[in-house]
């Protein structure tokens, strides 16, 4: 409460923008998170998290009533509200009956600005879901993660195998040693609305590819494991050239958009600069070259770096399976 009072005192009567997002806590209760964005006396843009408000549902009328109650409780004036920023939910940003419209009915100067980074995420989601082969690729990755990370024992097995490979690579000189190098990695589940997490997942999967193949092969060899069929399906997918090709293709594209997404989320970023980034010829050319149609890429796959990367990944899995024939088998859960 004291922190909230300090924020309200610091804001004073200055114009401010309202940032609202909704989520569920671990008990599945709907919550509304509220933050304020304003310019202080020194001319610095300040963004403060104000509070989390429990709401029984997320209908626009209830959200508006909750915001009115918060404004009344903390002495915030609707006339000082000059900006609104929400997520992509239609009941919040809807043009006809959305929260932004209800607020603008009271204060027409409360302009709505959709988060540029969130717009980029929504665009990536829409494109990926409409392109069936890429959508199926991410389904395969998710399926594999459920097999590997669905058990603490299988998770630990992956970590142990990967650690042994890193030690061996350091001993043979394949990896360099030094501060910050060869850090422990893991396969984390990605979120649909956070495509930066998809990028991190794919990067880690490429890095741990041979270890993932090892774990899946161990599960398949264990007749007592109930996940044999699931592991066999994932193993079949990962060993294909098609999967290796797509993981490098999507990683290249998401790598470009990830740089833009991080730039858009910088605290010192200005809308004018953010829009200018999109119109830069160099950036457009880079995205266009990375997002060539799949048929065009397949025609060039004999000479492209994507093809070479895919073949390298396949060689890793082949070498991994060969070396496992002489290694003791792990027992899975």
Give all domains of the chain, ordered by start, each with its CATH number.
2-114 (3.30.420), 119-324 (no CATH)
Rounded Cα–Cα distance for residues 174 and 207 (Å): 14
The pLDDT value recorded for residue 15 is 92
Give the Cα-Cα-Cα angle 254, 148, 198 (nearest 5 degrees): 15
For residue 274, the 8-state DSSP code is H
Q: Computed from CA positions of residues 29, 47, 20, 277, in that sequence, does the dihedral angle turn out positive or negative? A: negative
Rounded Cα–Cα distance for residues 256 and 48 (Å): 30
The pLDDT value recorded for residue 114 is 74
Rounded Cα–Cα distance for residues 186 and 171 (Å): 22
Give the DSSP H/E element, type plus range, for residue 46: strand 45-54
The pLDDT value recorded for residue 191 is 66
Q: Which residues of 200-226 are buried (b: 16+ CB within 10 A; e: fewer)?
A: bbbbbbbebbbbbbbbbbbbbebeebe
Q: Which residues of 161-178 are buried (b: 16+ CB within 10 A; e: fewer)?
A: bbeebbeeeeeeeeeeee
The pLDDT value recorded for residue 87 is 64
Residues 264, 274 contacting (CB under 8 angstroms): yes
Q: Which pTM value belongs to this model?
A: 0.61
Rounded Cα–Cα distance for residues 70 and 85 (Å): 17
Q: Which residue has the tokens 């509220």?
A: 34
- Positions of the chain with pLDDT under 50: 90-91, 95-96, 281-303, 320-322, 324-333
């Amino acid at each position: 409460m004291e922190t909230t009072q300090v924020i309200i005192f610091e804001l004073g009567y200055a114009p401010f923008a309202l940032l609202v997002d909704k989520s569920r806590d671990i008990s599945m209760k709907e919550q509304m998170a509220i933050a304020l964005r304003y310019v202080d006396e020194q001319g610095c843009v300040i963004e403060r998290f104000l509070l989390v408000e429990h709401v029984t549902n997320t209908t626009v009328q209830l959200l508006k009533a909750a915001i009115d109650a918060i404004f009344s409780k903390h002495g915030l004036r609707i006339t000082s509200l000059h900006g609104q920023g929400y997520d992509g939910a239609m009941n919040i940003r809807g043009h006809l009956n959305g929260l932004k419209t209800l607020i603008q009915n009271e204060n027409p100067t409360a302009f709505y600005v959709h988060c540029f980074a969130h717009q980029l995420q929504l665009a990536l989601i829409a494109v990926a879901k409409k392109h069936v082969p890429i959508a199926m690729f991410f389904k395969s990755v998710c399926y594999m993660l459920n097999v590997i990370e669905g058990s603490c024992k299988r998770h630990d097995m992956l970590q142990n195998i990967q650690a042994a490979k890193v030690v061996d690579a350091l001993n043979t000189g394949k990896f360099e040693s030094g501060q910050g190098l060869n850090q422990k990695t893991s396969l984390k589940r990605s979120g649909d609305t956070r495509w930066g997490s998809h990028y991190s997942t794919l990067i880690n999967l490429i890095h741990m590819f041979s270890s993932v193949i090892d774990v899946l092969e161990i599960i398949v060899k264990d007749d007592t494991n109930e996940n044999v069929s699931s592991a066999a399906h994932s193993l079949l997918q990962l060993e294909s050239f098609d999967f290796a090709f797509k993981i490098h293709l999507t990683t290249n594209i998401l790598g470009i958009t990830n740089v833009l997404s991080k730039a858009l989320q910088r605290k010192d970023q200005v809308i004018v600069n953010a829009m200018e980034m999109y119109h830069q010829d160099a950036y457009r050319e880079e995205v266009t070259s990375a997002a060539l149609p799949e048929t065009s890429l397949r025609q060039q796959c004999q000479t492209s770096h994507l093809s070479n990367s895919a073949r390298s990944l396949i060689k890793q899995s082949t070498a991994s399976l060969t070396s496992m024939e002489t290694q003791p088998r792990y027992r899975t859960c």
